[in-house]
Amino acid sequence: MLAAVFFAAGGCINGSVVNVDSRGQTIVCFGDSVTFGCGSGGPGKDYPARLAKMTSFPVINSGINDDTSGEALKRIQNDVLDKGPLIVIVEFGGNDFLQRRPVEETMANVEQIIKRIQKNGSMVALADISSEFVMSEYGQGFRKLSQKYGAILISGLLSDIMTEPSLKSDFIHPNEKGYRIVAQRVYRGIIPYLNQNAMLRKGRK
């Protein structure tokens, strides 16, 4: 099962990532409509479904349309922690921004999400949908949280997608082609840590 994650991956491994030795068995994608796959064109075309084809681990889509970071905290036990995650890709902030929630409130919620996932023994990857011109303060907050808590940061998740009509289904969401790019970016962000985890598991045998 684990052999399939031994792909060559570019980039550096952040040695300070917490729970890289996780014993979890799933990848949980925890987020809002971008994770759910709004605009993707149907089941199997969302980014978690595409990610599942790139790794050897079961990938669970725990995305809900219109979800905020506050609402996410209410469902984290059932939708994330009870799923036995090796790693959780956390993607929130868009609806907080649209609803004009204070950035400090969003960061406090995401901080609690990180702490609960890590206490559960799982790695956290923060997927940042902000850009230089939109939600930049969110991006700064996510970077600080990733450094403080030893979480993986996947920056620029929607970079170049939001400004390219051929990659969008509406003003906000990617289309099928756009979600394919999102899945590739998530994969590149987490594969070094899946590889490292696999080596640690092999060493425990």
Per-residue pLDDT tens digits for 56-65: 999 999 999 9
Does the pTM surpass 0.75? The reply is yes
Question: What pLDDT, on the 0 to 100 scale, is given for residue 68?
Answer: 98
Give phi and psi for 80, each to the nearest 5.
-130, -65
pLDDT tens digits, residue range 20-70?
999 999 999 999 999 999 999 999 999 999 999 999 999 999 999 999 999
Percent pLDDT > 70 in the chain is 92
CB atoms under 10 Å from CB of 77, counted, come to 11
The number of CA neighbours under 13 Å toward the Cβ of 166 is 0
Q: Which amino acid is at 145?
A: L
What amino acid is encoded at 187 in this protein? Answer: Y
Percent of the chain at pLDDT > 90 equals: 86
Q: What strands lie across the sheet with 85-91, from one edge to the other?
A: 59-63, 26-31, 85-91, 123-127, 152-154
Per-residue model confidence (pLDDT) at position 204 = 77
What would the pLDDT profile of 61-107 be if each residue is shown by its tens digit? 999 999 999 999 999 999 999 999 999 999 999 999 999 999 999 99
Residue 12's pLDDT band (cuts 50, 70, 90): very low
- Residue-wise pLDDT for 175-200, tens only, equals 999 999 999 999 999 999 999 999 99
Residue 33: what pLDDT?
A: 97
If you average pLDDT over residues 158-168, what whole number do you get? Answer: 94
Q: Does residue 113 surpass a pLDDT of 70?
A: yes
CA angle at 87 for the pair 182 and 19, rounded to the nearest 5°: 135
151: its two tokens: 């979480």
Three-state DSSP state, 190: helix
Residues 6 or more apart whose CB falls under 8 angstroms from that of 57 comprise 1, 5, 25, 26, 27, 86, 194
Q: At what angle do helices 69-79 and 103-119 cross, to 10 degrees?
A: 10
- Report all structural domains of the chain as residue ranges with CATH numbers, in order of start: 17-204 (3.40.50.1110)
* pLDDT in the model for residue 3: 32
